[in-house]
Amino acid sequence: MVLKDLWIGDLVKIKSSGKIGKFEGSIGNRIALIKIANKKVEVLAEDLESYREPKVKKEAFKKVYRSSPITIKELDNQIDLHLEKLTENHQQIIPEIRLDFQINACLSYIQKAIDQRKASVTIIHGKGNGTLKAEVYNLIKDFKEIYHHQEKNDGGATELWFRY
């Protein structure tokens, strides 16, 4: 990747680790400063590629919402989106649909929290490479009931506040 083509704040993926970060500047023509989870790391330009946040369309999950993995009557005040916390059969979920399963669970949880008129909830998405967190942030934009969100647990969770 040519560093002069990047703008500060652009999302990039580090090829060798798969981590997603924001371009913060460069040192010369070969080394980029990338911010990942509030830490700046130096990365060689050839180890970077452009990254675009995946867009999730809420409509694509409406049908699946009816068969939600969330089945409890009274919702807890938080959901952990790690696969092993969502289902006992997490090893049987093929890699191609794991992220969809997690997003679907999040969508279902948020909708049920709104239905139950919760004041606030916490979504634990983990730190990881940031993909699930980006998907969660994309998803919450579609809910007019969510008026504020804030990171918790050093960026591994997001707290949502609702207004009805």
Which tens digits make up the pLDDT trace of 35-80? 987 789 999 999 999 887 665 444 444 434 334 455 545 678 999 9
Task: Indicate whether 141 and 92 sit together in one domain.
Answer: yes
What residue spans of the chain are helical by DSSP H?
A: 62-65, 83-86, 95-115, 131-140
Residues 45 and 106 in one domain: no
- Comparison of pLDDT for 115 and 62, the residue scoring more: 115
> Residue 8 maps to which CATH number?
2.30.30
Q: Which residues constitute the domain of residue 105?
A: 58-162
Are 39 and 99 in the same domain?
Answer: no
Greater pLDDT, 103 or 72: 103
Whether residue 72 sits in one domain with residue 151: yes
97 or 34, greater pLDDT: 34
Q: Are 86 and 102 in contact (CB under 8 A)?
A: yes
In this structure, the answer to whether residues 129 and 65 fall within a common structural domain is yes
Q: Helix crossing, 95-115 with 131-140: angle to 10°?
A: 30
Residues 76 and 134 in one domain: yes
Considering the domain architecture, whether residues 31 and 100 belong to the same structural domain is answered as: no
> Quick one: tokens of 139?
């998803």
Shared domain for 73 and 144, answered yes or no, is yes
Residue (of 77, 75, 79) closest to 139 by Cα position: 79
**Together in a domain, 33 and 62:** no
pLDDT digit string, tens, across residues 125-156:
998 888 899 999 988 988 999 999 999 999 99
- The domain total for the chain is 2
Q: Are 24 and 78 members of one domain?
A: no
42/106 same-domain check: no
Q: Residue 109 belongs to a domain with what CATH number?
A: 3.30.1370.110
